[in-house]
Structure formats: structure tokens, C-alpha cells
Structure 1
């Protein structure tokens, strides 16, 4: 990196806002890509040349104009809780750490206007104090930023009722372009599509308006079953029962609960389980549904203890992978959608083929109003060839795989490639926004 480049960056952005020390560059060039043994060796050496850490939009715009002038790549980073290398700078340049844009600007009836660096756990707390709550959030909500979730995620806890990010869960965004004079765009409605799950390739989101739901008093419960078949059947019945309000329905096969050391007493040895968040007063109905398949409630966290310590959602979605890795460091995962009405058959075929090489947990969600059994299966990893044999088998039985072992947005299966390609050309004419993450950016 040229001395002139370094000196001008400090002059323009200030010593406190442009970081050059090795420790900051190393730390802020990483995310949770190490969940993937495929990505880890490919990304471990990637390093930013410097880190810009703005605290307001004026500083952010100055950093973008500086990058444009010097033809420097910009990789946007929130809390770095993504799993696919979204925040890893493939071509050096500047990591733009937007976690300092962290003000809650307004909480109104049914919505919140926030800067992109607001932590979702803090926003949930503020909203619940005012009689509201987040609609959806990832299992990493305590650390994850709202901007990182919108630009790198898809759904999570609450998606069983409210769908994924594309289901009206983003109302407005403020976006900056990467041009000689960065433009500040206000984006609504269908125009939001190129900025949701975009890895920061089409623009830099600095502010968001998201819908809030009325606060619900949630009871958390663990329900045990003799077989995973029984747990799946009850999870499907509960997911589709609109008389029971719910935030989380997660079916987990044994031995996955054995990985959940802080909650060891909540699970029966050898039993499959459901991890649930349902409305206060619903446990009698839940118990009746479970009893029809021989299930019983083993553990309850009452509503008055909600968010007063570790909760059941901290063991679901991709936090399941994290707990498994603490016990078996060779474990990795896949992302999958099973087929409604065929999920039990598909699960049985997977288990018959791979046994405990593939361990199943499913989280039920809605997509465009329709129930979807989604999953993040654990895989006892041996090598990439075997991993993709498992992927091929899944696809052969109708299980859709979204590959978490790639940093290419389209290859992960969640991006709208054509829409993003057009918007990238419009907002990023030099192709400097997170280059290498969008396959079609050079098309």
C-alpha cells in the first residue's frame, strides 16, 4: 500500500476513523466463515489494507468517495456474524465497519427507524419495553446488526409467523452508491429487492425502517419424543395450527440435544425434541398435540423469565452448529428446504443413507404465507467430495440445498442475480463494492 494512499486516508477520515494497525485489520477482515471447512483455508489469509469506521453518514460518504478516487474495493461489515465470508475482503482494499452507525432513530406504532449498526438484541429490548417486538431475527440476535441481517440473512426466529426478509419485513432503506459523488437513495417497496441479502454488492445500506409486531408473552418449552418421526409430525401440526401463536418451532433429533451443555437437564437422554416458543397460555394445547404422538413437555421457561438468561432460540437455527462445534470441531452444516407433506419421508431416506453422518434439525417458517420445513443439517465432515455427495443425494430426493460453502451470492441460492446485476452497474460503475461475491457483476 502506497505511503501517499495511507496518508491521505488518515487526512480525509481521521486517525480514529481509519485504522491501519495489524490487529484491527486482521480482526475486522473476518467473519464466521470458519463454520465451513471448505471456506476456511480459502479465506483465512484475506486481509484489508485498512479499515474505515464511520460514525455518521457524512464520514461514510467521505470514505466511499475516497475509495472511488483511489479505485479501492469496499467491503461492508456489521458485527461479522455472517457464515459465508460476506464480510471478508477478497481483494484487499477497505473494510467499511458500519457498526458505529448505531442509533435507534424512532420507534413508532408498528415500526422502527434505525441506523444499520443497531444490534438486534438491543432493539428487541427497546421495542418490548414499548409494547412491541421484532418480527424476525437470527439466532445471533444479541450481536448481529440490523444492517447485517438485512444484507446477509434471510429469516430466523419469528419466521414461522412473519416469513422471511422478502415478506414485507423491510419497509424502507437509505442506501449510498459508490461513485465520485456518492448518492443517498431512499428505497421502498419492490425497489428494496436488490438490497436484501446483497452482501453489500449493490450499495451501502445505512438506515432501515422495519415493521414491529405487538409484544407477546412467550413461554418456552422442550417437548420430548421417542422418535424423530414423532417429533416431526407434531412440529408440522403445530406449525400449521393458527390457533396457537408461535415464534419458534424447531424439531431436533438425538444426539443433537447432547451438544446443548448449558441445557443438559432440559432434555431426556436419547430422545428427539421440539424446542418451542409459544404464547403464554398455550402449553395445554401444545401438550395435547404432543401426547397424540407419545410426547411430553420436559422443561418450561415461563414468560417472566423471557430474555432473563439463555433461551431456547440460542440452540436453534445456526446456533445448533455452534454448539455442535464446541463438542465435535469437525462438524459442519448445510442449508436446506424440505418438501411440505414429504418431510418425514425425506428425513427417513436421508437417515437410511447416511445415518449419524447427517444429523437433522428443522425450523418451520412461512415463505409468502406458505409453510416451509427449512433445515440446517449437521454434517460430520470428512472432505469436500463427500460433502457434495450428500448435497447430490439431498437434491435427488427433492430436498433443496442452499450451499453455505461458497462466498458467491448466486451459488448460495438466495440472491436475485439479474436484479442485482443491473443495480450494481447503476450504483457501482467501477465494480468496487465487495468484488468477487456476485458472479454476474462482470456480465
Structure 2
């Protein structure tokens, strides 16, 4: 391979001293490792869907890896980790790149490591339903495997068909299933991890559920996930339901009544009628009304119908979900809603928040000032064992000052904001440093090689 083809275009150019050339020579000698030098490939694998945020787009659009590698074995992962640690070369992990917050963007250049070839399903425990799977396995493929065993995943992003399992654990938080099963960091989801460390001598170690908590939702900043053990649930023949309502407040009442009813739900989405007008018509043609999208067990259909009739809403049973592939209600929920709307108007961006109770008061307060600039998208979720409503409203981009003003008003209305326009783990969450995550990085990545710039607690520690 011609080293003259190696031209860095990272925002922070990689040093070109003799040490770096030695790093290149050593990494090219590794077995079971594909290496990508072309600028087009390096640029491609240095992006995710951060352009959902105009703020992140401005910040990250020039960031590019100096080198992209794809390990074909666990030993190759250990070898790459050791080399990056030895030469102090930043290392950023990448699954399928379906995140929205720049989780896999190498803001300091260096190496991006693609984990997609480490993708085997190692073990299924038929007595518990627990499954052990390698990092790069696609969630959609894993779920198909589980369905053949009479089980399915408890939580899935709307990108389930293309997202990797470790990418979801490291960069996600919840999604389809959160109405029943809460969020990924809740106890009982992640049962164990296998990780590779970036100590002086890299190790492959096993972490139990308690030790794994610090690696969960850490953007790959404090350990290289190579395998995971996840809990699953008994498979249910989910049915798709659409409920149309003239009044948004009445639709919210139906959402709350449905999530609090004695029925099994896997999805409970509420979309403003203006959103329904523009997204694919897989839930039925627009009827000028706000619409709820639900996945419910067969024995819960009549209960939802009774709830909707009591509220004076229109009820539509769309049939079993299993007959659909890629055009069902899941594809209209969570951040797929954002994706569909941005395909119509790229000037749209979004927020993420947990609404205070009673939720309608907060929405009315926000609408009083921002009603012409906001389209509401709500998701039923379970938060610390209590049924709540999360919001992913679409907003017209009018500049960062307007965005900050809107976020301030949302907070003043009592909403808990999960800011999708920032790059650090903490600022995209509750804004609080997780000392366990920092301690794990100190232990497993003491030189700060992994995904630098994404863990604010580490930056403050160093």
C-alpha cells in the first residue's frame, strides 16, 4: 500500500513525525485486520447522523479519522488497542453509525475501528432467555434469532434493522419497548460485558452486571465492548393500532390511559396532525387529526378500543405487526419520525425531554410562546417504574440563540432536557458527571485514548 496516499483531513491533523510512521508500519503488519486509507472511506466512517443538529453539524462536519480499521478477530482488537495505547493515537469505536449525537465521530482524528465483523451470537440460555452476543451483531438479526426461540429484545431503537447491539448499548438509551421496559441503564437489561482495555498491556476481561454499569451509555470512552449478555422477554404477537383524535389534549389523555391500562404495550407514540400529513402513510392516510400509534398484545386490543371510544376518537386495528417488514409503525416512531420529517424539510431539528406531570400544562406553556415553531411528538415511557411521557418535538431551526431560549423555556416549564445538540455523555443526559464512568476510564483507559472529548468528567479529572 502506498503510504503517500495517506493524507490526513482531520479537524486536528495527526502528527506526521517518525513515531506516527512507526505506528503505521506496525498496524499494517497486524493479522486479521482490514485497513482503509482512502479519504472517501475515512470521511464516510467518521460520520453518523449528527446533522440532525445544526449545532453539531457545524462543530463536527470537518472531523475525519486519519485511519480506519476493521478487525476480523478478537485478537486483532487487542492488537489495535495496544498499538494505539503505545503510540498515544486516539481510538474511536464505530458500530453501524446510526447515532445522532456524534458518538462515533473522531473529534481528535486518529483511528476509527469498525466493529461490524465481530458479530456472532455466542450463546442462548433457554432457561432464562438471556443471550450473549458479539458487539457488531445487528439488532435486527439478533431479534430474528430470538423470535425463533420464542423471545425478543426488550428495547430497540427505531434503527433496529441496521443498528449494532454494542452501538445501542454504548450510545443509546431507550426506544421501542421503553413504554414497558424503561431505559437501557435500568437494572436488568445489561447482564454482563466482555471488554478490551487500553492499559499498558491490553486485556480482554469479563464484567458482571454491576461492573458493566459504568460502560453502559458511555459512548465507548472507557472500554472496548467485544461481547454483551442481555436479558430478553417472551415474544408477543404484537398488533398495530392507530387512534385518531381531533384534540391534542384528548389524544394525550388516551396515551396516558393506554399506558396505565392492564394491557401489554410495546409502543405508544403520539404525533401532531401536521407530522402525520408528511410521514409515510403506513399507519393509514392522514385524516386531519392527531394520531396515536400503538403496538399491543392481541388480548389488549378491545381495551384500547374501549378507551378510544370513550374519548370520542377513531380506532383502527391495522392487524398483526409480523406481516410487515420495514413499513410498520416502528418505522414511524422515536427518531425515525425525525428522519422522515427532515427528508421533507432539512431545516427541521429536534429536542428530547421528559415532560413534567401534568404534561398538558407544560405543553400549553411552551406552545404559548413557541406554538408556531414546534410540532409535538410524544412517546410513552416507563421511568423509574412510573409511566411517563417523553417528548421529541420537531422545531424549525432559527439559530442557536433561539434554540437556547426554547430549551430555557422548556426547563422553566418543568421538563427534564436531554440535549441532542452537545457532544459529551453528561451534557446529553442529566448534565451530571458519573463518577463511576470516570473511574472506569481511569482503570481501563488511563491514557485517555478512547473517544477523547466525549466524557466531560474525564476532561475535568485530567
Matching residue of 1:291: 309
Contact map agreement 1:253 1:273 (CA 8 A) in 2: yes
Of residues 213, 235, 260, the one that matches 2:255 is 235
Matching residue of 1:191: 211
Shift of 1:262: 4.2
Deviation digits for residues 70-100 of structure 1 (CA, Å, limit 9, x no counterpart): 1100101100011111100011110011111
Q: 5 Å matches for 1:111-190?
A: 111-167=130-186, 168-190=188-210
Matching residue of 1:22: 39
Alpha-carbon distance between aligned partners in 1 of 2:309 and 2:130, rounded to the nearest angstrom: 39
Instruction: Please say if 1:74 is aligned against 2:91.
Output: yes
Contact map agreement 1:34 1:83 (CA 8 A) in 2: yes
Alpha-carbon distance between aligned partners in 1 of 2:384 and 2:141, rounded to the nearest angstrom: 28
Alpha-carbon distance between aligned partners in 2 of 1:416 and 1:191, rounded to the nearest angstrom: 17
Shift of 1:433: 0.7
Alpha-carbon distance between aligned partners in 1 of 2:73 and 2:289, rounded to the nearest angstrom: 51
Contact map agreement 1:222 1:267 (CA 8 A) in 2: no
Alpha-carbon distance between aligned partners in 1 of 2:246 and 2:114, rounded to the nearest angstrom: 48
- SS in structure 2 opposite 1:282? helix
Alpha-carbon distance between aligned partners in 2 of 1:353 and 1:308, rounded to the nearest angstrom: 40
Matching residue of 2:230: 210
Shift of 1:150: 0.4
Q: 5 Å matches for 1:201-350?
A: 201-241=221-261, 243-263=262-282, 266-298=284-316, 300-305=318-323, 307-340=324-357, 342-350=358-366
Deviation digits for residues 40-97 of structure 1 (CA, Å, limit 9, x no counterpart): 0211110111112112211100000011111100101100011111100011110011
Of 61-70 and 16-25, deviating more is 16-25
- SS in structure 2 opposite 1:208? strand
Matching residue of 2:8: none
Shift of 1:177: 0.9
Give the TM-score taking structure 1 as reference length. 0.96
Shift of 1:313: 1.1
Of residues 73, 91, 98, the one that matches 2:115 is 98
Matching residue of 2:405: 389
Mark the runs of 5 or more structure 2 residues left unpaired by the alignment: 1-15
Alpha-carbon distance between aligned partners in 2 of 1:256 and 1:203, rounded to the nearest angstrom: 40
Shift of 1:282: 2.2
Shift of 1:416: 5.0
Of residues 435, 438, 442, the one that matches 2:455 is 438
Deviation digits for residues 353-410 of structure 1 (CA, Å, limit 9, x no counterpart): 2113111111111123111211111111110110111000000010111110010111
Q: 1:63 to 1:191 in 2, by over 3 A?
A: same
- SS in structure 2 opposite 1:64? helix
Of 428-437 and 346-355, deviating more is 346-355
Deviation digits for residues 111-160 of structure 1 (CA, Å, limit 9, x no counterpart): 11100101001111111111111111101101111100000011111111
Contact map agreement 2:277 2:286 (CA 8 A) in 1: no
- SS in structure 1 opposite 2:93? strand
- SS in structure 1 opposite 2:362? helix
Alpha-carbon distance between aligned partners in 1 of 2:450 and 2:457, rounded to the nearest angstrom: 13
Deviation digits for residues 267-317 of structure 1 (CA, Å, limit 9, x no counterpart): 443200100000013222111101111111235132451x43411011111
Alpha-carbon distance between aligned partners in 2 of 1:407 and 1:290, rounded to the nearest angstrom: 41
Alpha-carbon distance between aligned partners in 1 of 2:433 and 2:274, rounded to the nearest angstrom: 37
Contact map agreement 1:256 1:324 (CA 8 A) in 2: yes
- SS in structure 1 opposite 2:452? coil
Contact map agreement 1:38 1:384 (CA 8 A) in 2: yes
Alpha-carbon distance between aligned partners in 1 of 2:89 and 2:319, rounded to the nearest angstrom: 50
Contact map agreement 1:13 1:62 (CA 8 A) in 2: no
Of 251-260 and 1-10, deviating more is 1-10
Q: 5 Å matches for 1:389-408?
A: 389-408=405-424
Alpha-carbon distance between aligned partners in 1 of 2:383 and 2:228, rounded to the nearest angstrom: 22
Once superposed, what is the RMSD of the aligned Cα atoms?
1.5
